């Protein structure tokens, strides 16, 4: 079984997230787990690279690079 880590977040932020996730995720931990997994996925890294290239091209087109 994987070990878990305890993190601290502001109560107001957690309360707002709890209200938002109703019906979407089981609990706040499930939401955070999903978001972190998505951010760490290989597809996310590819998207970040594509976004970076797009921004770079736009800056070149505008004469900044």
In a domain, residue 17? The reply is yes
pLDDT tens digit string along 1-41?
A: 689 899 898 999 999 988 888 888 898 899 888 888 887 77
Q: Tell me how many degrees the CA angle 41-33-18 measures, rounded to the nearest 5.
A: 135
What range defines the domain where residue 53 resides?
Answer: 11-61
Q: Is 0.85 surpassed by the pTM of this model?
A: no
In a domain, residue 1? The reply is no
In a domain, residue 26? The reply is yes
pLDDT score of 40: 79
Q: What is the dihedral of CA 9, 14, 15, 20, to 10 degrees?
A: 160
d(CA 61, CA 48): 20
Alpha-carbon 23 to chain mean position: 19
In a domain, residue 34? The reply is yes
In a domain, residue 27? The reply is yes
Number of domains in the chain: 1
In a domain, residue 4? The reply is no
Tokens matching residue 36: 């972190």
């Amino acid at each position: 079984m994987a070990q878990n880590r305890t993190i601290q977040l502001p109560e107001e932020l957690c309360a707002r997230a709890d209200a938002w996730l109703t019906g979407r995720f089981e609990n706040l931990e499930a939401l955070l787990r999903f978001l972190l997994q998505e951010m760490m996925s290989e597809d996310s890294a590819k998207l970040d690279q594509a976004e970076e290239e797009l921004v770079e091209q736009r800056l070149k087109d505008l004469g900044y690079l």
